[in-house]
Amino acid sequence: MTSHPALARRLSLTTAIFLGLGSMIGAGLFAAFSPAARAAGNGLLIGLAVAALVATFNALSTAQLAAAMPQSGGTYVYGRRVLGEWWGFIAGWGFVIGKTASCAAMALTFAAAVSPAGWLRPVAVAAVAAITLINIAGVTRTARATQIIVVFVLAAIAVAVAGGISAAGGSASQLAGFVSDGSLWSGGAYGILQSAGLLFFAFAGYARVATLGEEVRDPARTIPRAIIVALAVCVGVYAVVAVVLLSVLGSSAVAGSASPVVALAASSGWPWVEWFVRAGAAAASLGALLALVAGVSRTVLAMSRGGDLPAWLSAVHPRFSTPHRAEATVGLVLVLLVSITDLRGVIAFSSFGVLVYYVIANISAWHQDASERRFGRLSPTLGAALCVVLVVTLPVSAIVTGVAVFAVGAVYRAVRLRGAPTD
């Protein structure tokens, strides 16, 4: 059996929590509410509750698996060990492809918030280059940068919410109106489930803690706690923002806005609030990009170790203890994507890949030995079933694209296996 250099365990519980928050707070908060409102109107509140429930089941399964197998790669590693190599490959392929696209979207979102006219793509390329270098320099630097960004983003969200409430006169009458008038259900069951699938994009960041499992201190205790705490904080923040958005702006305005949280800030009438929240949106995108690149590169590392990607990518830097070749390769792919591609429709596609990823995570948790199961078999059963429901209610274009991408991955692995030497 081939041995591989290990990554250093440098992450504490606090830093692991912030890495999870950095992946969740931002990518979804500033991007997912608008398409969710178009799908379900005020019913996005129910969709948010469904997405949070699915995320909770998935988080429990991920925590259980990560505690037993604290290695880089997340469900790619869990699926291979518990279910078989093909299951792990499908999970890893979906994660790498979907989240690489999400990384590009975050870089373009950041650039759109800060770049002057005509400089969108050069600024996005510069952001990718800077983030890649920070990640290569060490996971502790990634964690410190993420902590700073998350604190700033939470402050911006708090200001936006306060400004919106002030604009509404601090009254809860609008909230009482749309809760009692039946409009929560106006989107219908399909619209609500579709909004849940889109909003699930916002809760996928806790997977980043699992993909960094080889770098967490005392992983059997730290990983489950970090995942659960990060998810709980994120659910609370999203719920508050969703209620205030619908109360102050209304579902039509949320659906029609490119950035509903910025629009909420603008409604306050305080000029500095909108500026501050725009800066928070840019920081949120940058923070999500920072954590996403770290997670994708660790999955690339694991897949190269497993023989599903070139072995050259499995190198670990002798000084920084980071997968520098995987990091650099992900960065180069991102530079290409942000230079030539517009990924505005990435949310649904990303949700497809991530939901498939968690179907495999839940099935893996269900099949774990009884000695390793912490939450029984009901949780992964419900988690897998609900993930499948959300997958089939996503927009048809996302489903078709997702199936095509997984088919390409399957062909790639089949060809690679055929060319591999036999013992």
Q: Would you call 5 exposed, middle or buried from its count of C-beta atoms within 10 A (0-12, 13-18, 19+)?
A: exposed
Higher confidence at residue 11 or residue 261? Answer: 261
Q: Regarding predicted confidence, which is higher, 110 or 174?
A: 110
Give the C-alpha distances (Å, rounded to integers) separating 131 from 137, 314, 332.
10, 20, 12
Buried b (16+ CB within 10 A) or exposed e, 15-44: bbbbbbbbbbbbbbbbbbbbbbbbbbbbbb
Q: pTM for this structure?
A: 0.81
* pLDDT recorded at residue 383: 95
Quote the tokens at residue 399.
Answer: 């489903």
Q: What is the CA radius of gyration of the chain?
A: 21
Helix, strand or coil, per DSSP, at residue 72: strand
Instruction: Give mean pLDDT, residues 229-251.
Output: 89
Residue 113 has pLDDT above 70, yes or no: yes
Residue with the larger pLDDT of the pair 31 and 378: 378
pLDDT of residue 1: 41
In whole angstroms, what is the distance from residue 161 CA to residue 172 CA? 13
- Give alpha helix (H) positions in 137-250: 139-167, 173-180, 188-200, 207-211, 219-248
Determine the pLDDT at residue 423: 46
Burial (Cβ within 10 Å: 0-12, 13-18, ≥19) of residue 367: middle
pLDDT at 422 over 80: no
Least confident of 27-31, 104-108, 186-190, 268-272: 27-31
| 96 pLDDT higher than 80 | yes
The 10s digit of each residue's pLDDT in 366-375 is 999 988 888 8
Mean pLDDT along residues 159-182: 68
386 pLDDT higher than 90 = yes
Give pLDDT, residue 339. 86
Residue with the larger pLDDT of the pair 98 and 181: 98
> How many angstroms separate the CA atoms of 149 and 140, rounded?
14
Each residue's pLDDT tens digit, 19-78: 788 777 765 688 788 889 999 988 999 999 999 999 899 988 988 898 888 776 778 989
Which of 92, 96, 68 lies closest to 80 in space, CA to CA? 92
Beta carbons of 364 and 82 less than 8 angstroms apart? yes
Mean pLDDT of the chain, nearest integer: 84
pLDDT in tens, 269-319: 778 888 898 899 888 888 888 878 888 898 899 899 889 999 999 998 888
